[in-house]
Amino acid sequence: MSQFPISALEKPIAFSRRLFLGSSLAAAVLPSVAKADEAAPSSAATGLAPRLIPARELPVPKTVSPELQAVIGAPYPLGWNDVPQDSTGWKDLAFKSAASVANSITAIRDHFSLKVEQTTMAGVPVFVITPEEIAPNNRDRLLVHIHGGGYVLFPGEAGAGEGMMMAGYGKFRVVSIDYRMAPDFPFPAALDDVTAVWRVLLASYEPSKMGIFGTSAGGALTLSTILRAKSEGLPLPGAIAPASPCADLTWSGDSVMANAYVDNALVSRSGWVGAAAALYAGTHDLTDPELSPLFGDFSGFPPAILTSGTRDLILSDTVRTHRKLRQARVNAVLQIFEGESHAQFLTPFVPETQESFGEIAHFFDAHLAS
C-alpha cells in the first residue's frame, strides 16, 4: 500500500511519506495499541495459545548500507495510527500524501532526465514516462505501473515515482496509471481502470512485450489484473513484478503479528492502513480474489518476480504469493531485502534500491519478448 519511502536526499519531515506506508514508541503507548492487534485471526482460528514474547530492543542492522541504516533507524511516522473519520479526512490525507513526496518526485525525474507526459487512456489519467535513453532490447517493450498507497493515497503524479525509478534504472518506457481511489471510488473502480488501460495498450503493443508491476496496493492490483484478464479472456503480459502485495485483506499472514511494531513504515494493521483497506473493500467479501488475490487461481500466470523486506508487516503476503505461484508451476522469483520494512526498497537513491530495480529489470529483460 505504498508509494516510496523518504528520499535519501532529504531529511524526514513531520508529515513524511512514511506515514502512508506505515524507532519505538514510548512503552506506555505500546500496550494500548498492541491490544488491537491481539484480535488478529491467527490465534482464534487455530485455538492455540499465542506465544508471549518478552520486550526487547531491536538494533539497526549493520548488514545494510549506511544510507539504508538511516531509513531503518528512523522513528515511526507521525500519525501512522491517526485514522480519518470521514471522506473529508481521507481526502485531506491524500492531499497531504501528494505534497509529502513532491520534492522526491522532482528529484527522481531530474536525476534520470526523464520525460513525463500526462494523458488519458480509456478516460483514465496516465503518465507516460520515457527515459533519456531506452535500452536497445526495450525499444518495442512497455511496462505498466500500478502505484501503491492503500487504494486511497498518492493521487496524480505523486503516484508515479516508482514508475519513474523503473524507467530510469531499467531504461524502459513506462505507463503509470492514476486509477480512481476510495473513498469516492471503492472496489472495483481501481481494477476497472487498470483493466481499461490494459485493453487500450493491447491495441498498440504485443502482450508478450509488456510487463506489469507495482508495490503494496499496486502489487495486489498487479495480481488482480491478471485474474481479471484471465476471466475476461484478455491476453496476459509477458511478466509481472508484484512487490510486497497486500494480497490478503483478511490480514491472516504470520508477519502481520510477527512484524507488528517492527515495521517502521506501516507499523501495525491497527493504524491507517487497516482502515484504508476496509474503506476500499466496502461491503465486499474480503476473500474475493479480485480484492485479495491470494484466494484466486494462479494457474497460467506469467513469470513473476516478488520483492519484500525482512521487517515488512505484510512479508507473509509476498511469501505466500510466491509459494502459491510455485505450486501452480509458475516461474516465480522471490527477493527479500535485509532489514527493510514495507516498501523501503523504493527509497530513492540508496544502493539497495538500485539493486532491487536492477533485479526486476533483469527479470523483465529475460522474460519479455524482444
Q: Which residue has the higher pLDDT, 276 or 38?
A: 276
- What would the grid cell of residue 80 be? 501512522
> Is residue 189 a contact partner of residue 179, using CB atoms and an 8 Å limit?
yes
Residue 4: what pLDDT? Answer: 54
- Closest Cα to residue 294, out of 342, 228, 227? 227
Residue 34: what pLDDT? Answer: 47
Residue 189 CB: number of other CB atoms within 10 A? 16
- What would the grid cell of residue 185 be? 471510488
Residue 121 CB: number of other CB atoms within 10 A? 18
Q: Is 330 left (phi over 0), alpha (psi -120 to 50) or beta?
A: beta
Task: Give percent above pLDDT 90 in the chain.
Answer: 85
Residue 32: what pLDDT? Answer: 41
Sheet of 174-177: strand order equals 115-121, 124-130, 174-177, 142-146, 210-215, 239-243, 304-309, 332-337
Degrees (nearest 5) of the Cα angle 333, 316, 160?
70
Residue 45: what pLDDT? Answer: 63
Q: Which phi and psi angles does 305 have, rounded to 5°?
A: -120, 130
**Average pLDDT of the residues in 351-364:** 98
Tens of pLDDT, residues 69-120: 999 999 999 889 999 999 999 999 999 999 999 999 999 999 999 999 999 9
- Closest Cα to residue 16, out of 240, 267, 360? 267
- What would the grid cell of residue 158 be? 505523486
- Closest Cα to residue 175, out of 199, 152, 149? 199
Distance separating alpha carbons of residues 167 and 262, to the nearest angstrom: 31
Distance separating alpha carbons of residues 243 and 234, to the nearest angstrom: 23
- What would the grid cell of residue 129 be? 514516462
CATH class for the domain made up of 61-367? alpha beta
Amino acid at 305: I
Distance separating alpha carbons of residues 23 and 33, to the nearest angstrom: 15
This model's pTM is above 0.85: yes
Q: What is the distance in angstroms between the CA of the first residue and the CA of the last residue of the chain?
A: 32
pLDDT interval class at 18 (50, 70, 90): very low
Distance separating alpha carbons of residues 357 and 315, to the nearest angstrom: 18
Burial of 134 (0-12, 13-18, 19+ CB in 10 A): middle
